[in-house]
Amino acid sequence: MDNLNNSLNHPINEEINRLSSIDSPPKNEPVNTFRNSSHEGEFTSKFRIENPKLSVQSLRAWFNGKLALKDINLEVKEKRVTALIGPSGCGKTTLLRCINRMHDLTPNATAEGKILLDDFDIYDKQSDPVLIRRRMGMVFQKPNPFPTMSIFDNVAAGLKLNGVKDKTLIKEIVYDSLQGAALWNEVKNDLDKPGISLSGGQQQRLCIARALAMQPEILLMDEPTSALDPIASSKIEELMTELKKHLTVIIVTHNMQQAARVSDYTAFMYLGELIEFGPTDQLFKYPKKELTERYISGKFG
Ligand SMILES: Nc1ncnc2c1ncn2[C@@H]1O[C@H](COP(=O)(O)OP(=O)(O)OP(=O)(O)O)[C@@H](O)[C@H]1O
Ligand SMILES: [Mg+2]
C-alpha cells in the first residue's frame, strides 16, 4: 500500500484515499448473520447483464467489524466465465465466499445485501446453505483431494454424502465428471489409486471433477492455477472453455493474461470495492478508470 501510494501522484490519490477509508461497522451487529438491505446502491460498474444467473446487490461484508467488501454490485452472465481480478487483499475470496455462503462459516464475519441466484435470494431466511453450496461448486487455490480416498471415491464422495446409493448411477456420474474435467483419459485405468498420487495439475482437475459430480449451476474457482506449472494451467484454461457450455464460471485470478484468455467478463476490485466491470476485451483494451488501467498494465499489484 505504501509503495502504491508513493508511486501514485495526482488525482488518483484522492480515489485511493477515498477507497482506503474504512466505513464504521454497523453497531451491535450480531455475528454470523446476513441481513437484507433496503439500500439498493447504484451499480458501481454501470454495466448491466440482461437476465443474470447471479446478481450481487449492495453487498457489504465485515470481519470482526472491519469492512472488507464495500457495496458490491455485480451481475454474472449464465454459461460465461467471469473473472475477478485485483491486488492481494482486495476482497476477491471474500466475495466468492459470500456467494456460496461460506462467509457465514467464518467466526465474527457478517454481511448485508442481497445475492440472487436466478430469482432466489440465497440469504433468505428459508434458504439452506447446504443446498446453496450444492448449486455452487468451489475449487480452491491449492488442490485438496481427500487424502485417504481413491480417485473414484474422491469424485463419488459428495454423492454418497448426499445419500445416493445406486452404484450404477454413482459410477456413471463419476465417469462423466472425470470426462467433464478432462481427466478421464489419464486416470481411467487407475481409479482405485489414491487421489493424492496424481500430479498437482491432475489433482486440481480431480477437484473440478469432484465439484462437477454435484452437478452445480455455478463453479467458483479461487486462483485454481496459481499452484500449477504452465502446461497444467493451460489444461485448466482449456477446460474452462468446455465447462462454460454447461455451467457458469467465476474465476479469481492474479494472472492478467489468464483473465484475458479465459473470461468473457472481468470485474476489477480494489480495497474492497468493485472499481470496474465489463466485457473482458473492453476492460483490457479500453479501461474506463485510471486505476483499472494502472493495474492491468502492471503499474501496481
Ligand atoms: N478470516 C478472516 N478474518 C479476518 N480478516 C479477513 C479474513 N479473511 C479475509 N480477511 C480480510 O479481508 C480482506 C479481503 O481478503 P480476501 O482474502 O478476500 O482478499 P483477496 O482479494 O482474496 O486476496 P488474495 O489475492 O491475497 O487472495 C483483507 O483485508 C483480509 O485481511
Ligand atoms: Mg484470495
With the most atoms of ligand 1 within 8 angstroms of its CB, the residue from 20, 72, 93, 221 to mutate is 93
Nearest protein Cα to ligand 1, atom 10: 63
The predicted pLDDT at position 126 comes to: 87
Nearest protein Cα to ligand 1, atom 18: 91
The predicted pLDDT at position 47 comes to: 84
Calpha distance 94→105 (Å, rounded): 12
Asked if 248 and 216 touch (Cβ cutoff 8 Å), the reply is no
The predicted pLDDT at position 16 comes to: 42
Bridge partners (DSSP) listed for residue 266: 83, 278
Asked if 111 and 211 touch (Cβ cutoff 8 Å), the reply is no
The predicted pLDDT at position 299 comes to: 85
Please provide the DSSP assignment of 180-211 as one string: HTT-HHHHTT-TTSBGGGS-HHHHHHHHHHHH
The predicted pLDDT at position 33 comes to: 40
Pocket of ligand 1 (CB under 6 A): 63-64, 68, 86, 88-94, 106
The predicted pLDDT at position 12 comes to: 43
How many beta carbons lie within 10 A of that of residue 221, not counting itself?
A: 28
Domains of the chain with bracketed CATH: 2-296 (3.40.50.300)
With the most atoms of ligand 1 within 8 angstroms of its CB, the residue from 23, 63, 67 to mutate is 63
Report angle CA 114, 221, 113 to the nearest 5 degrees.
10
Ligand 1 atom closest to residue 97's alpha carbon, by position in its atom list: 18
Question: Ligand 1: distance of its center to the CA of 88 in Å?
Answer: 8
The bound ligand whose nearest atom lies closest to the alpha carbon of 222 is 2
Nearest protein Cα to ligand 1, atom 6: 63
How many angstroms separate the Cα of 128 from the Cα of each of 104, 120, 131, 133, 205?
Answer: 12, 12, 5, 9, 28
Nearest protein Cα to ligand 1, atom 27: 88
How many beta carbons lie within 10 A of that of residue 39, not counting itself?
A: 11
Question: Ligand 2: distance of its center to the CA of 166 in Å?
Answer: 38
Question: Which mean pLDDT values do the consecutive 10-residue runs of the chain (301 residues) have?
Answer: 35 45 40 40 64 96 97 97 97 97 94 94 89 93 96 97 95 96 96 97 96 96 93 93 96 96 98 97 96 92 74
How many beta carbons lie within 10 A of that of residue 218, not counting itself?
A: 20
- The pair phi, psi for residue 55, each rounded to 5°, is -135, 115
- Sign of the C-alpha dihedral computed for residues 209, 205, 272 and 291 taken in this order: negative
The bound ligand whose nearest atom lies closest to the alpha carbon of 140 is 2
Question: Ligand 2: distance of its center to the CA of 103 in Å?
Answer: 13
Asked if 177 and 212 touch (Cβ cutoff 8 Å), the reply is yes
Ligand 1 atom closest to residue 96's alpha carbon, by position in its atom list: 18
Calpha distance 3→115 (Å, rounded): 35
Asked if 117 and 40 touch (Cβ cutoff 8 Å), the reply is no
Please provide the DSSP assignment of 70-122 as one string: EEEEEEE-TTSEEEEE-STTSSHHHHHHHHTT-GGGSTTEEEEEEEEETTEET
Ligand 1 atom closest to residue 95's alpha carbon, by position in its atom list: 18
The predicted pLDDT at position 125 comes to: 86
C-alpha of 102 from chain center = 11
